[in-house]
Each structure stands twice: as structure tokens, then as C-alpha cells.
Amino acid sequence: MPDLWETQREVLGAFIRQQRKQANLSLRQLAELTSLSNPYLSQIERGLHQPSVRVLKAISDALNVSAETLLAQAGLIDAIAATGPNGASADQKDVPETEDAIRADQRLTDDQKAALVAVYRSMIGPDSPGK
């Protein structure tokens, strides 16, 4: 029986494959656009590897899909789903200072902020101390 991470990888891979085909790109062409290897992209599309946020950003840029869309398909959007358009959480009392600092950093784009918050929350998890 597949675990949650395996299922998320498969869903993400299928979504990337679908978007690549809609863009009429071969795997080799996507590899060239992202500066990633053909075998690595193939593994991602088959759900055998979970790409990093950096790789997801490269793929989203090449496919002209928002980074948030790929983060959602990767299962990371749950971590930022409660974030509003201005970056404020619907329930501020549960937002760690780290997230506030990320959202306040003017050097980051909204996509970068969302990605960092998603990665941060995936690292601390729902059962971390203080939650």
C-alpha cells in the first residue's frame, strides 16, 4: 500500500507530465529549459523522486505554471493554504515568529515567501514542540 509521500510524488509527477505535454514539450526539451537532466525529470514524472523547491521553481518557470500550483501538487501548499493574499495568516496566534520574519522580508518575492514558509512548515511538521 503506497504511503502519503509516495502518492504525492505520483500526483506531482503526473501533473508535471500533463503540463509538459500541454506545452508540446518533450522530456529532453524540458530538461534543456530547466538545466536538469533528462533521467532526473523522468524520475520526477514517474513519482520516483521528490524535487526540491528550487527544482519545482525551475519546472514551473519552464512550463509557465505558477510556483504555487506546483507546490500544491507537491503537497506543500497545505502548509500555506491559510495564508491570505497579503501573506497574513487567517489565524495569527498560531504563526511562529519565523514565518512573520519571512513574510516581512522585503528582499523576497511573494513566490519566494510562500515557498520558504511551505518548506519551513514541512520541516517543523504538525507535531513539533510548541504546536
Superfamily of domain 4-75: lambda repressor-like DNA-binding domains (1.10.260.40)
Summarised one tens digit per residue, pLDDT across range 23-56 is 999 999 999 999 999 999 999 999 898 888 889 8
Reported as a pLDDT band with limits 50, 70 and 90, residue 69 is confident
Of residues 62, 61, 78, 58, the one with CA closest to residue 11:
78
Per-domain residue ranges of the chain: 4-75, 78-124
DSSP structural state of residue 101? H
Distance from C-alpha of 124 to C-alpha of 7, rounded to nearest angstrom: 21
Least confident range from 59-68, 74-83, 93-102: namely: 74-83
Reported as a pLDDT band with limits 50, 70 and 90, residue 92 is very low
